[in-house]
Chain A
Amino acid sequence: MTYQTGLAALADPTRRAIFERLADGPRAVGELATELPVSRPAVSQHLKVLKAAGLVLDEAAGARRLYRVDPDGIDELRRYLDRFWSRTLTAYKVAVEQPRKEDA
């Protein structure tokens, strides 16, 4: 699993179109299906993938379910960098504790 696979997944033009619409404001499945040349079941399937990836949130609004993007950029960045530095320092510990050539 690499970065490239994730890139390919998000590069899906329909999924990106849906995501762009949600960046404009919350939408229900039916609204997305009306705005885009995509069937309702297909929209639902894409939303399911986006939601599983943590890209969008959903919430009940009366009888409808609205989808929106997560607006909290700093928290998002913090979570990412926290993971990034945790992994980096773990790898650093391995590197720094490797026996040196002169010790061998």
Chain B
Amino acid sequence: MSTPAQDTAVHVDVVVEAPIERAFTVFTEGFGRFKPREHNLLGGEEIAETVFEPRVGGHIYDRGVAGGECRWARVLAYDPPTRVVFSWDISPQWEIERDPSRTSEVEVRFIAETPDRTRVELEHRHLERHGTGWEGVRAGVASAEGWPLYLERFAQVVDD
């Protein structure tokens, strides 16, 4: 079975009014400042800080207010201020994936359009490595804390 590459990746771009160095620094060091609130695998514990270890082999991890810690990414490439790549060690059931062969990866490129404007291109690729996301459907249904995909959709419906 083969799937076209573009079907197993997500691309999102944004242009920011900032020099490339700042764009890179805010994305890496400041990731915890802007990531969505539901990006939290600490089991309900509030996140005190998100730490981005700025080196290949480092981790991105959340530290909870009660001392919990969750490492959800490995830094695979770190080339300031133009590029960073990290793994996405989060399963479709929104749990930490410990098998690296079942993790996807996120590459972020920073391109200076002018001295004060930067294009940021994000690619989240190899989604197929997570499996179909449905292999564990019954186990996922059995654990109420699973199902972020559906929970979000559910939340949207309830919001409407």
Contacts and interface: CB of A to CB of B under 8 A. Distances in A.
B56 interface: no
A92 B158 contact: no
A64 interface: no
Interface residues of A, number: 44
A96 B23 CA distance: 6
Q: Is the interface of A mostly helix, strand, loop or mixed?
A: helix
Measured as residues with beta carbon below 8 angstroms from the partner, the interface class of chain B is 35 or more
Contacts of A61: none
B154 A53 contact: yes
B38 interface: yes
B12 A82 contact: yes
A52 interface: yes
A76 B9 CA distance: 12
Contacts of B148: 3, 80
Contacts of A71: 132, 134
B8 interface: yes
Contact of B155 (A5, A16, A76): A5
Interface in B133-151: 133-135, 137-138, 141-142, 144-145, 147-151
A92 B131 CA distance: 29
Contacts of B127: 74, 77-78, 81
Interface string A82-104: 11111111111111110010000
A9 interface: yes
Contacts of A42: none
A95 B128 CA distance: 31
5 contacts: A3-B38, A5-B158, A6-B155, A74-B3, A74-B7
A77 B133 contact: yes
Contact of B132 (A74, A87, A91): A74
B159 interface: yes
The 10 A-B residue pairs whose C-beta atoms are closest, nearest first, are A73-B133, A73-B132, A91-B34, A6-B151, A6-B154, A6-B155, A89-B14, A85-B12, A73-B134, A96-B26
Contact of A85 (B22, B33, B124, B131): B124
Contacts of B39: 84
Given A6-B155, A74-B130, A97-B18, 19 more contacts: A3-B151, A5-B158, A6-B150, A16-B141, A16-B144, A52-B157, A54-B153, A54-B157, A73-B92, A74-B7, A75-B7, A77-B133, A85-B122, A91-B35, A92-B16, A92-B27, A95-B30, A96-B22, A96-B26
